[in-house]
Amino acid sequence: MPELPEVEVVRAGLAPAVSHARVLAVEVRDERALTRHALDGADFERALTGRTIAGTARRGKFLWLPLSPMPPATSPVDAVVGHLGMSGQILLREAGAPAERHERIRLDVEHPAHGVLAVVFADQRTFGSLAIDALVPTPDGAAGGFGMDAATVPHQAAHIARDPLDPAFPEAPFRARLARSGSAIKRVLLDQSVVSGIGNIYADEALWSARIHPETPARALPARAVTRLLAEVRAVLERALAEGGTSFDAQYVNVNGQAGYFAHSLNAYGRTGEPCARCGRPIVRVSFMNRSSHFCAHCQKARGL
């Protein structure tokens, strides 16, 4: 499933092509791609056609395109919200380009500098979605997400915590939450109401880098271990961003259809049986929350269990 690095790569790729572009036409080819939209495909098409996209923003795995306001409003009050689910793709194509495989929704937009382009939402497994959603104020008054300065966030993403790369990430409350929690640290890292965007792959990688066993109770971590973990989470996410995200198959691609290559830099996730890059012992895999955890049993000692 695409996580913070993959969604941020898509957001950054969209930004120069759609910011200040006017939506000329909208075609909903499969209404299963509108599961988060309040009404039907005809409403989505009608509400979006003719609007101007003010920019691009992201929080965790949600990205959104704020829409320029309709008078008398002076700032965006709603946005197109996208969630990629397990296999969603947002692609930029030339105007009139043939339909993509698994294409669900297409927007034709006209950009002042780039002319007419097609923005295609394709999704093989149909767990992803687009929607038009109201923007609501952020409780802390800080920017709602990466890419925009406005202190607003889509209503359906308002419950999502800030991510560790967000300048407004509330580090002190995060530390306090860990100190109170008896849950496994990996479970806490995957809780989107506590911290967003990390995901299974990056949790395994950060815990390996920080030498922390994934089932260690969060409250058993001393302050210095939490400091080390946060540093490694940020480092892993930044490296993944620099390498275009993680692609194991053709499901995750950027807006140009290109795969990320961070999979070649992984130290734990997907390395079952391979030697640990630190100690040479084999990486092990265990079941965790209907998924899997990958770690080095020698380097990542279990404590407080």
Spatial CA neighbour of 228 closest among 243, 207, 245 = 207
Catalytic entry in 3, 6, 8, 103:
3
Active-site residue flag, 101: no
Per the annotation, does 125 bind a ligand?
A: yes
Active-site residue flag, 3: yes
Spatial CA neighbour of 217 closest among 190, 188, 191, 184 = 184
Degrees to nearest 5, angle at CA 221 with 302 and 212:
45
Whose structure tokens read 């109170």? 180
How many whole angstroms separate alpha carbon 143 and alpha carbon 152? 7
Catalytic entry in 36, 51, 59, 61:
61
Q: Is 204 helix (H, G, I), strand (E, B) or coil?
A: helix
87, 248 Cβ separation under 8 angstroms: no
6, 246 Cβ separation under 8 angstroms: yes
Q: Is 26 helix (H, G, I), strand (E, B) or coil?
A: strand
Active-site residue flag, 301: no
Active-site residue flag, 215: no
How many whole angstroms separate alpha carbon 305 and alpha carbon 292? 19
How many whole angstroms separate alpha carbon 251 and alpha carbon 122? 10
How many whole angstroms separate alpha carbon 262 and alpha carbon 283? 18
Binding-site annotation, residues: 102, 125
Report the catalytic residues. 2-3, 61, 291
Binding-site annotation, residues for DNA: 102, 125
